[in-house]
Amino acid sequence: MCTNYRPGSRDFIRERFGVEADFEYADEAYPASAMPIVRALPGSASGVECLRACFGLIPRWARDTKIARSTYNARSETVAEKPSFRGPWRQGQFCLVPMQWFYEPNYKSGRPVRWRIERSDEGEFAVAGIWESWRTPGAPEVVSFSMLTINADGDPVMGRMHAPGDEKRTIVVIEPADDQRWLRGAPDAVRDLLQRFSADAYRTGPDPRPPARRAAKTT
């Protein structure tokens, strides 16, 4: 599903959540890259914190971090049962993923072309996620996350993405009014938030990657 996106800006994180992203992060997110997430501040009734986390959830039982390259999305229908995700889900380890837009492949031409999906008003938004903490003896803690996805068959925006015959899926956008409810809710109490975003509030169009630059030949 969503493997590539542009993370939220520092201004957006500050304005929406009231916290600073006081660390460096890249302009594009790929599985296993370090990106900002927002989660409830431990010991606080309403405070939140922004931290650098690995895009791709690393379960506590994982032997190393390589699994992050295949755990970046968690299906909402099975998140409570899948070994990689059920612990964080059942423990209510919810987070929000700040985002400017995300990318999906469109096969209209017969081959995958990267398209950008963003808000029609060009505003930034936050996506529902789960987080986990992982460490090995003598090593620092690694916080990681996965974004929740839901079925999007028939959706006027996401129905145009992915290979023909593949199930259509989409990420879950959390509105500002639901931030605290998502971050501090019990699993059974937040299931109703796992909905498709409003298609008329978003737009999409081709945004192919620029050609790779070849190194100049030396003589």
108 token code pair: 């209209």
215 in any annotated domain: no
The three-class DSSP label of residue 95 is strand
Overall average pLDDT of the 69-83 stretch: 97
What average pLDDT does the structure give for the chain?
Answer: 92
Overall average pLDDT of the 193-219 stretch: 77
Overall average pLDDT of the 164-172 stretch: 91
pLDDT at 216 over 70: no
89 in any annotated domain: yes
Which residues, in sequence order, are CB contacts of 161 under 8 Å at separation 6+?
A: 104, 105, 106, 115, 117, 168
181 in any annotated domain: yes
Domain of 15, CATH number, reads 3.90.1680.10
Q: Could you tell me the pTM of the whole model? A: 0.93
Confidence category of residue 215, pLDDT binned at 50, 70, 90 = very low
Overall average pLDDT of the 182-199 stretch: 95
Distance of alpha carbon 46 from alpha carbon 52, whole angstroms: 20
pLDDT at 219 over 80: no
126 in any annotated domain: yes
pLDDT at 50 over 90: yes
- 212 or 136: which leads in pLDDT: 136
193 in any annotated domain: yes
What percent of the chain has pLDDT above 90? 79
Confidence category of residue 160, pLDDT binned at 50, 70, 90 = confident
Residue 199: domain span: 5-206
The total number of structural domains in the chain stands at 1
Overall average pLDDT of the 172-199 stretch: 96
211 in any annotated domain: no
30 in any annotated domain: yes
The three-class DSSP label of residue 159 is helix
pLDDT at 218 over 60: no
Give residue 120's pLDDT: 95
Please give the helix or strand (H or E) that residue 146 lies within, else none. Answer: strand 142-151
The three-class DSSP label of residue 144 is strand
Confidence category of residue 136, pLDDT binned at 50, 70, 90 = confident
CA-nearest of 146, 136, 122, 10 to 64 is: 136
Overall average pLDDT of the 72-82 stretch: 97
214 in any annotated domain: no
